[in-house]
Amino acid sequence: MPSEAELRQEMVEIMVALEARGLNRGTSGNLAVRMGADMLVTPSGVTPARLSAGQMVRVRPDGTTDPGALKPSSEWRMHRGLLDRRPEANAVVHCHSRHATILACAGKEIPPLHYMVAVGGGASIPLAPYATFGSEELAEAVATALDGRSAALMANHGQVVVARSLRAALAIAEEVEEQAAVYWGTLAIGGPTLLDAAEMDRILERFGTYGQKR
């Protein structure tokens, strides 16, 4: 188990990586990682370039934080809801990557157009219905869309990933953005040719071990 100090440092690195890989801009993305019954959440309104490990906010299950802590990301309820519902997952990555957000604003999920869509844990990457950012309704909508999955788009908002670690979640978020970009591109030239359900089942079966080989 990584120490709290290691997790805090990793959160800084993942926020910097999200921006460096073009998955996020400014202060919009946020992360959470499980710390026993509590979680560490990125602070609200700090750009990756100015983030430090000590600024990560420890949020208790009732939503309270340590005295003197920065305000946690407005999406802390969504992070809490996902970590509560997914005991096997330890990390949540949320970002407004461009192509995922384009699809989310057009009300489109990502259909089975490429085998890597299975990185989200299903035959498609679903779209959670819209609710106001930071709200309990959004936390609920996202948790429902992510049932049994690793990734979802969020209507008129962005994308969210749950995974065993922050690094795994970052890798999935990057692939979701790639698949969103590919789907967006196919929509400009007549739309994708989709893989059928039986093929997606075979792919998902192989993905049972896929991640461990990388």
Binding string, residues 139-158; x marks residues near Zn ion by CB under 5 A: -------------------x
Residues in 22-51 that interact with Zn ion by CB under 5 A: none
User: Cα separation of 57 and 125, whole Å?
Assistant: 30
Residues in 77-106 that interact with Zn ion by CB under 5 A: none
Strand bridging mode 127-128 / 151-154? parallel
Vertex 1 angle, CA 37 and 150, to 5°: 70
Sequence-distant (≥ 6) Cβ neighbours of residue 3 within 8 angstroms: none
Residues in 158-187 that interact with Zn ion by CB under 5 A: 158
Count other Cβ atoms within 10 Å, centred on residue 151. 27
Shortest Cβ 19–Zn ion spacing (Å): 14
For residue 31, what are its two tokens? 């992360």
Shortest Cβ 74–Zn ion spacing (Å): 8
Give the residue with the Cβ less far from Zn ion, 90 or 97: 97
Choosing from 10, 75, 174, 175, the catalytic residue is 75
Sequence-distant (≥ 6) Cβ neighbours of residue 55 within 8 angstroms: 43, 46, 70
Q: Which helix (H) or strand (E) holds 202?
A: helix 197-210
Q: Are 160 and 154 in contact (CB under 8 A)?
A: yes
Give the residue with the Cβ less far from Zn ion, 74 or 144: 74
Shortest Cβ 94–Zn ion spacing (Å): 6
The one-letter code for the residue type at 132 is: T
75 is known as an active-site residue = yes
User: Cα separation of 23 and 151, whole Å?
Assistant: 15
Give the residue with the Cβ less far from Zn ion, 128 or 163: 128
Shortest Cβ 42–Zn ion spacing (Å): 11
Residues in binding contact with Zn ion, number by CB under 5 A: 1
Give the residue with the Cβ less far from Zn ion, 138 or 195: 138
Task: Give the nearest residue (CB) to Zn ion.
Answer: 158
User: Cα separation of 183 and 192, whole Å?
Assistant: 7
Shortest Cβ 133–Zn ion spacing (Å): 6
Catalog residues that contact Zn ion under the rule CB under 5 A.
Answer: 158
Q: Active-site residue numbers?
A: 75
